[in-house]
Structures are given as C-alpha cells and as structure tokens.
Structure 1
Amino acid sequence: MTGPLPDTMAAPLRAAAGFVSFTEVEAGAHRSYNEWHLFDHLPEQYALPGVVGGQRWVLTPALAAAGATASAPLDRVHYVTLYLLAEPLDVTLTDFFHHGIALAKAGRFHQQRTSHLAGALRVECAHAAPAALVQPGVVPFRPGTGVHLRLEDAAAGPGPSDLGDAVLGVPGVAGVWTFAGAVPEDGPTAGLRLTCAWLDGDPSTVDAALTAALLPPAPDPGGASGPTFAGTLAAIDPHAPFGWFD
C-alpha cells in the first residue's frame, strides 16, 4: 500500500538539533576504533533521554578520491558522526558531555582519534524524497547506504530550499535535512550550515550525480566561519573487517 500519510499520522520532528563530529583516526587503529564506537560508545548514548538517534559513516579512500572536497583540517577526516538531539537542548547537551566525561574516566574512550570539528547545530528543515514514502522526520531511521554531507558558511552558501530542491531530485537520495544555528551560539559550529542527504542508492553512483548537481561548498569570504566539507560517506557494516585504510 502506498500513498501519503493521513494528517492524523503526521508527526513533528523529535530531533531539535544535530551534534556532528568530523573524526580522524590514527593509522593502524581503525579496527579498534570502529569496534569501540559501534559496540560501546554509540549504544551508550541511548541511555540519555535526549539522544534520539546516532549514526556514523566512513569516507572511504575511493569516495574521497571520487569528488570529496574539504578545507584544512577536515581534509584529514576518515569518519563523520551525527547524533540527533531532542529538547530541552541545554539539558540534553549537558547530559551528553557529562556522559562522555564519565565514560572517559572509566577508561571507555578511544585515545587514537582526533575530532577536528565537533558541535551542535539546530535542525533547520527536513524533507523526504517522494519515492521514500516516509515522513521527513523518520528519514534518518530508514536503512540506508550512506550520506552526502556539505558543511559551509551559512550566509555565503545556498539557502536550505535551494539545496533541498537540488539534492532531492537525484535518484538514490531518500531525504535531506539541513542544520544551522550553533548551540551554544558561540560554539565551534557557529556560522556554519550542515546539509545531510540520506542515501538509499549506490553511494558512488549518487556521489557522481550530486557532484554534478551541486556547486562546491561556500567558504566565508572573510575566512571567519570555519572549515568547509563536501563528500559522500558510506554506511558501516558493524561486522565488516574495517579494512578501508589498511
């Protein structure tokens, strides 16, 4: 059975913000990092009532070479993690950071990783591709093949409606969310917009189409708002050998 949902089934977004981390892992530590994050750290976040979702993707060497672009230091990134956070954001973020500190004190934090940018951005808009059938708010929870991410200056780059129209027209894109407005306002992500397109098609094929359809990410003309990034990352099989960088 297909078709739009009745209005009585439409639901508001549970997530009010996304916490994103662009991570580099030391050579030789990818297996231990993936095992730690997939089977320990990420599941632990669901102990917090304000964490409603969490995913991590890999920028494989093949996808990086195919068309990913990034300014320093994000040109060294191997993985991107996105946690979806619910209101009240001040409470959720306080719990989130305190939980991370507690896990680290318990010896349950990976030491051979560097997060080159980590911070929260408010959800700006959310759209689902018509072929996906689902509501925009549940797009992140569909089984997927990866994501296409853009990080750029919020004022200099295209607006969310323009980005959404361009991205949703590409086959293999299930939906797109944009995030803008740092939490707190002076946080590391201040002045940036993150666009996240969830994929259900072959990442390499979708990447080629998106690269052709989108301009490179826009930097701040004054160079004040931080780094830029654009690239397609693959979903991670938790039982894979994690050998992309061997």
Structure 2
Amino acid sequence: MREGPEKAHSAKGLGRAKVAPKLRSLMASTKLSDTQIRRVIRCYASGMTPAEARARTGLSHVTIYRLYGHIRKRLAFVGLYQPKTAFIDYINESEEEGRPHFDWEPFQASLRAHLGAHRGIDAKNRDLYISEAIFRIEENFLKPLQFYNLIMLTIRATGPLNREPPPITAALFHLELDRLGYVFMRDMVRRSRLGGEFSAFMLSALEDLEFKSRRTYAELAEADRQQTTQANRPKRRRATRADTNEEGSD
C-alpha cells in the first residue's frame, strides 16, 4: 500500500541493512536446508514463477508451490499483503482528500495479467493471490534484494514459515521495519550538507518520532500478548445450582 515517503525510506533502508540475526531455522521440521529455502525466497522476491524457481533451485514443483504459499500467508499476516477491499478503501479515501484520480482500467488489466500467469488458483487461495498482485503492481519500486530482505525480516520477527505466528509478532515486525527506516533517515541527514544547527534539529525530531513510534508498537504488542494470554487461559466453569445441591447432599 502507498503510505507516503516514510514507507519509501524504510524500503530504501532495506537495500543496505544487514538481513537478520540468523534464525535457528527458517522452517521447522523440514528436510530442506536454510540455504535451499533462501534460494526459493530469492526466486519469489524476483517474481519468478514456480516453474522458473524449480529450474533455478532443482527442488520439486510441489515444494516450490508450498514455500510460495507460506511466504504469501506470512506477508499477509504482517499486513504487507492487504485485501482488495482495503486497497479500494485506501484509493477512495485518497481521492476524497484531493489526491490525483486513480486510473482503475490499467490497474485491472495488470491484475488480470498477474492472476492469469498463475496456475493452481482456487477459491481458498484466490484472495492471497489478489493481495500479492496488488502489492507487486503498486509497490514496484522495491528491488528484488529489498523485497528479499523484507521477507527475511518478516520471518525473523514472526518465526518459522510453516508455523502459526503468535499475534504479537506482527507488531514486532512493524517496529523493526520502522527502526530500519529511521536508521536510513538519520544516515541521510548526517550525509547531507545541511547546516549544523538544522541537522541537529532534524536528528532530534527523528529521535522523538522514533520514540513515539516504538511506544505505540510496544503498546500494540503488549495488547496482543495479553489477548493471547487470555485466550489460552483455561476457562473456569461457573458453579451451577445443581453443583451446589450436590455438594449439600454429601
């Protein structure tokens, strides 16, 4: 989704940031090595079809499809892949705020072309394919290496691809993505030829914004943690009148 210059800065930062402290494993309980999985992720980030990825990696067609599916689900989980309804709402709100009119005709043509290039689309996974297509069409400023780093960052924050991620990890992912964005922006200010006082002002402003951002995501993560804890807590059955009568009769 288009979210202004902040998101573009974050994406640029991904091109130079180190990709993750290494996970114990990119997937749990699998015979695939992390090296093989990374190769598939690079193929996905480059926009290769499963057939092209199979030729590049030597893995089976079924394995490629399964890994591609895991990647789509994880990117949707953290909100990078958004539903078509959310995209339409965003465009409508943008136009109401006076931004340029969005030309739907070429977008729909690109969407049909993207979906037509995939086999195996059915009612269960169609929405994921549509969300992926919207991202690739609208976020095409991302280079393959940047997209690869973004996927690796997602896995680092949320855990192995083939395991259900805890809700808290979505907020942690966006917190890390914001941090990379601020690192990039501070680096740009330091490298610029702006005056010393103005540079100091900009760095201070960025520090304040990052502090507020980290606090917001920390609050979201804590809310998710409490919700998960509450959901997993065993429910205590309320004593009924029948229970009370039985206790009294003993």
TM-score category, normalised to shorter length: under 0.3
The two structures have a TM-score, normalised by structure 2, of: 0.23
The two structures have a TM-score, normalised by structure 1, of: 0.24
**Structure with more of its chain in helix, by fraction:** 2
**Structure with more of its chain in strand, by fraction:** 1
